[in-house]
């Protein structure tokens, strides 16, 4: 079994829902491993201008920011197979930002 398949087997369904008033929010349902979620705590996910021009949205990830929706394998598999991940994914936003910073340092 390759690393990607192993990671998919350990993924759970998580949700994020943060509201700042005036219609501004970050919401999403996504797949991630418990290790990815634990590693995200204490970091800041950058989403760019998702709330409009010049909004520059970021989210400080605290222990209660990302909530477990389900860790039942059959339910996780259903979400994956049907492509029901929606909205923003702070884990992906962190990975993009860390990759960007690595590219900048490599110059």
Residue-wise pLDDT tens digits, 34-47: 999 999 999 988 88
Q: Which residue range(s) make up the domain with 23?
A: 3-105
Burial of 26 (0-12, 13-18, 19+ CB in 10 A): buried
8 A C-beta contact, residue 47 and residue 57: yes
pLDDT at res. 29: 97
Q: Copy the structure tokens of residue 49.
A: 């201008």
**pTM for this prediction:** 0.79
Count the Cβ atoms, other than its own, within 10 Å of residue 90: 27
At 74, is the pLDDT very low, low, confident or very high (cuts 50, 70, 90)?
Answer: very high
Q: What's residue 26's pLDDT?
A: 84
Q: Residue 106's pLDDT band (boundaries 50, 70, 90)? A: very low
Number of domains in the chain: 1
For the chain, the average pLDDT equals 82
Measured CA to CA, the distance from residue 85 to residue 100 in angstroms comes to: 24
Q: What is the residue whose two structure tokens read 């492509």?
A: 83
Query: What percent of the chain shows pLDDT beyond 70?
Result: 76
Most confident of 1-5, 17-21, 60-64: 60-64
Strands (E), the chain: 12-21, 24-32, 44-48, 57-60, 66-70, 86-87
Q: DSSP code of 53?
A: T
Distances (CA, A) of 58 to 25, 35, 55, 65, 75: 10, 21, 9, 13, 30
């Amino acid at each position: 079994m390759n690393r990607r398949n192993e990671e998919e087997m350990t993924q759970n369904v998580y949700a994020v829902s943060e509201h700042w008033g005036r219609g501004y929010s970050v919401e999403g349902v996504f797949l991630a491993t418990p290790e990815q979620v634990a590693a995200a705590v204490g970091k800041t996910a950058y989403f760019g201008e998702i709330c409009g021009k010049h909004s520059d949205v970021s989210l400080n990830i605290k222990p209660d920011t990302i909530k477990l929706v389900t860790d039942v394998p059959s339910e996780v598999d259903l979400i994956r197979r049907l492509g029901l991940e929606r909205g923003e994914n702070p884990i992906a936003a962190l990975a993009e930002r860390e990759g960007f910073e690595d590219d900048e340092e490599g110059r």
